[in-house]
Amino acid sequence: MYEDSIFDMRYTDILQNIPKLVKTFNKNGLVIFKELHATEEQQYSILSLFGDVVGWNPNSQNGNLLKNWVRYDETHSVSIDLREKFGPHPLGEQILIHWHLEHVENEVPQVGAAWNMIKNNTTSPDAGSTGFVNCCADNLLPSIEYLEFLRRTTIMCTENPGWEMGWDSATRNSILIHQITGKEVLRLCPLGHTQTVISVDGKPPTPDDQKLMNEITWWFLKTVWDNTNVQFWWNWSVGDMIIPDLTVMAHAVKNGFKHDERRFIGYWAFGDDYEKRMSSQLKT
Ligand SMILES: [Fe+2]
């Protein structure tokens, strides 16, 4: 279902086809450049040119001035260490990083990224694969009852005992209208933390409201974790670059590689809430 998101293009072709690429990005929630082997400068430029169309930072107007983006160098060493310490992931042997919507609990979460795989010496093709689930309502198909309730509800993440990450959770709408596509996006936490109802129609929730939210959360988790019809897995090659729309794309990473076998450079894109982000102590 994501075949039209996979592009075999060189850097100069990409520069000349940004509107077409962004159209596909908006339709599917990601674009993949196969074996592009982009330099880091090119990676940043592509993310910035996307920013000119979709409105995130970096973009060519203010990317360098505001620096409202984050670069990171990822080998997944922390996750590998945790796995060695605590054993296989609760979701199964094959999972290294649990399904998540990037910092969905945060007041100012990431809205996009460019992930550039610069090293991949894994032995099996699906080692370290990244899975994606598009969380638009028209993809996950919640019942009308669930959808209408979510439209009226604000929530926040309450970390489950024994699984605390020390997050700063903000109150947010359960459903977000995507600023470009206008689609409804389910902004629930696929990690499994409790989604505490803060208000329904602007009023304090009843116990039944929280009960229904727990039911919806469980449906959402089972859909993201287990419904292979909505999952898409990408097996990385060296030089691949992915631009995901992090407002809509939940993602997970498969196990099967060791320290120093895999490395990518990531750039996270943010909205215009730079001041807020700095004060919200975003943890990477
Ligand atoms: Fe992530």
Q: Distance (Å, rounded) from C-alpha 241 to C-alpha 120?
A: 12
Q: Distance (Å, rounded) from C-alpha 224 to C-alpha 135?
A: 8
pLDDT for 281 beyond 60: no
Length of the chain: 284
Which segment of 113-117, 161-165, 274-278 scores lowest on mean pLDDT? 274-278
CA of 205 to the centre of ligand 1 (A): 31
Residue 55's closest CA among 270, 243, 282, 250? 270
| Structure confidence at residue 247 as a pLDDT band (50, 70, 90) | very high
| Structure confidence at residue 20 as a pLDDT band (50, 70, 90) | very high
Residue 115's closest CA among 258, 271, 270, 243? 243
Provide the H-helix boundaries in the chain.
11-16, 18-28, 40-54, 63-66, 77-86, 137-140, 144-151, 207-226, 274-279
pLDDT exceeding 70 applies to what percent of the chain? 93
Which segment of 76-85, 110-119, 143-152, 269-278 scores lowest on mean pLDDT? 269-278
Identify the pLDDT of residue 283: 36
CB–CB of 189/101 below 8 Å? yes
Q: Distance (Å, rounded) from C-alpha 48 to C-alpha 42?
A: 10
CA of 204 to the centre of ligand 1 (A): 32
Identify the pLDDT of residue 284: 35
CA of 191 to the centre of ligand 1 (A): 11
| Residue 39, CA distances (Å) to 114, 238, 240 in order | 12, 12, 11
CA of 284 to the centre of ligand 1 (A): 9
> Which of 132-153 are b and which e, b meaning 16 or more Cβ less than 10 Å from the residue's Cβ?
bbbbbbebbebeeebbebbeeb
CA of 89 to the centre of ligand 1 (A): 16
CA of 213 to the centre of ligand 1 (A): 24
Identify the pLDDT of residue 104: 93
Identify the pLDDT of residue 179: 85
Identify the pLDDT of residue 272: 73
pLDDT per residue over 46-61, tens digit each?
999 999 999 899 998 8
CA of 146 to the centre of ligand 1 (A): 26
pLDDT per residue over 191-209, tens digit each?
888 999 999 999 999 999 9
CA of 251 to the centre of ligand 1 (A): 6
CA of 111 to the centre of ligand 1 (A): 11
Residues, Cβ < 5 Å to ion ligand 1: 102
pLDDT for 15 beyond 70: yes
Which segment of 30-34, 93-97, 126-130, 214-218 scores lowest on mean pLDDT? 93-97
Q: Which domains does the chain have, with CATH numbers?
A: 3-283 (3.60.130.10)
| Residue 91, CA distances (Å) to 142, 218, 253 in order | 23, 14, 12
Average pLDDT for residues 133-143, to the nearest whole number?
97
At residue 39, what are phi and psi to the nearest 5 degrees?
-70, 165
pLDDT per residue over 61-118, tens digit each?
875 555 678 898 988 888 888 888 888 777 788 899 999 999 999 888 999 999 999 9
Identify the pLDDT of residue 161: 74
CA of 102 to the centre of ligand 1 (A): 5
Identify the pLDDT of residue 66: 59
CA of 132 to the centre of ligand 1 (A): 10
Identify the pLDDT of residue 31: 98
Identify the pLDDT of residue 65: 58
Strand arrangement of the beta sheet that strand 194-200 belongs to: 172-173, 153-158, 194-200
CA of 101 to the centre of ligand 1 (A): 7
pLDDT for 168 beyond 80: no
